[in-house]
Structure formats: C-alpha cells, structure tokens
Amino acid sequence: MSDAGEEAFGHVGRAIGRVAKAATNEVTKAADRTRAERERDTIRAAGVDPDAGVSPEAKERAAGQREQQQDDRGRDRGDEGRER
C-alpha cells in the first residue's frame, strides 16, 4: 500500500475510534441516569421524599459532581484505550 493509502487508512481508523468512544460515553451516561432514577424510585417507594431537606444549591452541586465523575470516567476509559 502506498504511503498516502496508509495515511488515509490511519485517519479513517482514528475517526471510527472517536465515534465509537463518543457512543460509548453516551451509553454510559444514559446507564448512570437510569441507575440514579431507579435509586430515587426505590427511595420514593419506601415512602421517603428523596429531595426532602435538600437545598437547590446542594442539588446543583451534586449534579455538577456527578457530571464531573462521569466525564472523568469517560476520560479514564479513553486513556486505557490509548495505552494498549
């Protein structure tokens, strides 16, 4: 294969990898949201308001922390792929 062909093949492979990584991140986020919703439903089923006594600022802070953890987890997964 010519050098140009090999270079083009490399670009295509990297593009496919980026798309796959983005799709994996979206699936992970959806799974995390689903898990959190199930936990909240379980708490509600026990007759407890999951938001009782929680200030709006605390809710925002917790949401930001969850998003950061998800981003970190996705970034870690991406780093693992590059190490191989």
53 secondary structure, DSSP code: T
Distance CA 79, CA 68 (A): 16
Q: Residue 5: its pLDDT value, please?
A: 73
51 secondary structure, DSSP code: T
For the chain, how many structural domains are there in total? 1
User: Which of 9-13, 60-64, 76-80 has the weakest average pLDDT?
Assistant: 76-80
Q: Residue 54: its pLDDT value, please?
A: 74
Q: Residue 57: its pLDDT value, please?
A: 82
Among residues 22, 59, 25, 23, the alpha carbon closest in space to that of 40 is found at: 59
- Quote the domain boundaries for residue 8: 3-83
Please tell me which residue, 25 or 50, carries the higher pLDDT value: 25
